[in-house]
Amino acid sequence: MSNLENPKNVIVDEYLESSLDSVDSSEERAKVAAEQVGLPEDDAYQVGYAVREAMVNAIVHGNRYSANKRVHFVLSRTESSIQVLIEDEGTGFLPERQADPLAEENLLSQSGRGIMIIRSFVDEFVIEKAEHGGTRVVLRKTIPPGT
């Protein structure tokens, strides 16, 4: 957990099914939590959006919708940010192997934009290999001072 800041307050710590319902619910919980810690509406929307994209990656590409695999979802508040950990039970992911979605030849690709949008919407985004071989991502959005 090298990239995880110490949480001041863990809001959700659950193992979710590999389903689109889990995507919807985690997005909503992240958005609501972001609003509750004082993030402006647009920032809270971006947190929810980033969580949705990361959950889709975990469920579709990592766990491949397997009924036998779960996604570990941890939503917390740290001293200075809202922090989300999402860990799948897939076989790992190498972000450097992903084609650049902004390259001219890839603009008309149907997929491959999720991670780029996540990076645009949060302040920190880390992808790493989990101990058991799956993929762990941690994303953080800074809470404005004084909230």
What count of residues does the chain have? 147
Compute the distance between CA of residue 141 and CA of residue 147 in angstroms, rounded to an integer: 13
CB of 118 vs other proteins, minimal distance in Å = 9
Edge-to-edge order in the sheet of strand 135-142: 9-17, 70-77, 81-87, 135-142, 124-129
Q: Token pair for residue 121?
A: 């919407």
Binding of other proteins by 120 (CB under 8 A) = yes
CB-wise, 97 or 131, nearer to other proteins? Answer: 97
Rank residues 102 and 126 by Cβ distance to other proteins and give the closer one: 102
Residue 130 engages other proteins in binding (rule: CB under 8 A): no
Site residues (CB under 8 A) for other proteins? 20, 23, 45, 49, 52-53, 56, 60, 101-102, 107-111, 113-114, 116-117, 120
